[in-house]
Chains A and B, each alone.
Chain A
Amino acid sequence: MISRLAWIATLVTGLFMVAQYFIKTDATNAVYTTLLDYYQIIFAVSMIVGGIGLLKQHSLKVQRSSQQRRYSLITIAAILFMVIAAVIFGTGAASPYQWAFNNLQAPMQATTFSLLAFFVASAAYRGFRVKSAPAFVLALAAVIVLVGKSGFGEMVSQQLPAIAGWVLNNPSTAAKRGILIGVGIGSVATALRVILGIERSYR
């Protein structure tokens, strides 16, 4: 019974969301805005549930006195600090919350992001090992684009930047568009299967 109700709610909401995209009236806009508001409410509540779950999980790790307890202690301290600092001092430009964001969180995020440079190098090394004819084409295209798009490209050949541009604008774009056409049709079909209850991850 609950499963049927869930499916009816999915069906009605799904069909409405498709219809409101094409038919704009005051009534459909109002219902659409209300549904988005409800999603925000669900998101906010689940964020609280997620935050509490995170604290609970790390508290258990601290109690179990595992080797990683120090990481859990840091996580708990960081979560509590940010919440308490935001509640007491607000989130203004000169607040401790903003200071922690600018001086702790942002540099840590930048550090993680910078790992990409090393991971790109190691992945490229594996990916460009020529073991077959398609791998040779991949490696050749990569070398042309890498060298052609760098300042070094013109030094090698005046034609190389133009060839690199052709590789990006023609074969690469054609392949991307082929994938995107499939993705677009697949998205509609998946959404329809969910709306009609043909495929559902709930019971």
Chain B
Amino acid sequence: MFDPASLVLLIWVLLTCGVVAYFSYRRRVSRLRLRAIPGIAAIEEAVGRATEQGKPIVFTTGWGGDIQRPTTLAALNLLRFVAGKAASYGCRILFPTHDPVIAEAAKEIIQTAYNEAGHPDQFREDDVTFVSPSQFGYASGVDGIVSRQKPGAIFLFGTFEGEALILAETGNINGALQIAGTDSTIQLSFFIVACDYTLIGEELYTASAYLTDDRRVQSSMYAQDLIRAVVVALLLLLPILAMFGVNLYKEIM
């Protein structure tokens, strides 16, 4: 049955879910001022640049995550916006992936974007490619696509591992404007030096809130910040309490 050792985790999950759900459904945040994130602002510019150059864009979610991973879900949410822009500008979007399930989901998203933009005929099914489940097979496949197609913009959103720098450097060599975003802290440093813009950690999860007018999504981002403020306050408060002999760290965190 219920493991008492999981009680603290359960409370944190319920608290986070409760706050996010409350702000999302009540749309409490009427005047939300969003901090400018250059990487997100550059997404539309990148698609526009590729369209002007007559080049395609490449969007890939990395080798490290499958469809169950929140990072992949956040990346697919972003794909919806990128594909929508690409479809409305008449820009071709290439989506290579290592996972056939992600490929099917991406196919559905991109096709829907082209349909909604009124250009269903421009959707090419073979632009969504299942490359290889092998890490460096996938890296080689994406590198091949980038080297041959010379895309105007590359979006690297998702969970990346050892292939991150191989992809980012190949894109850099081929002159593409690159925007990356990942939760992999080790790969972030590679993206920061090799890409034009990088979404750091949770910025990837909040990116869709910047790109939508939906108040519920934006309010949920406010809730995320609120929870984070509580965590930071606790991280500052608990060591001070410990100095006075009140050690609650294990009980709360």
Contacts and interface: CB of A to CB of B under 8 A. Distances in A.
A180 B201 contact: yes
B202 A185 contact: yes
A24 interface: yes
A57 B129 contact: yes
Contacts of A124: 193
Contacts of A190: 70, 73-74, 77, 205
Of B135, B136, B166, the most chain A CB neighbours within 10 A belong to B136
A57 B131 CA distance: 11
Nearest to B209: A199
Please tell me the size bucket of the interface on B.
35 or more
B195 to A, nearest CB: 10
A4 interface: no
A110 to B, nearest CB: 8
Contacts of A201: 73, 76-77, 79-80, 105, 108-109
Interface residues of A, number: 57
Interface string A36-59: 000100110011011101101100
A199 B208 contact: yes
A127 B192 contact: yes
A183 B186 CA distance: 14
A108 interface: yes
B29 interface: no
A189 B18 CA distance: 10
A191 B109 CA distance: 18
A194 B126 CA distance: 28
Which of A22, A24, A182 counts the most B-chain CB atoms under 10 A from its CB? A182
**B interface SS class:** helix
Contacts of B194: 119, 123, 126-127
Given A42-B101, A201-B76, A201-B109, A179 B201 contact: yes
B205 A186 contact: yes
Contacts of B231: 181, 185
A5 interface: no
A95 interface: no
A124 B9 CA distance: 40
12 contacts: A22-B2, A22-B9, A23-B2, A46-B103, A47-B100, A50-B130, A56-B126, A57-B126, A68-B148, A113-B136, A123-B169, A186-B201
Interface of A: 18, 21-25, 39, 42-43, 46-47, 49-51, 53-54, 56-57, 60, 68, 71, 105, 108-109, 112-113, 115-116, 119-120, 122-124, 126-127, 176, 179-183, 185-194, 196, 198-199, 201-203
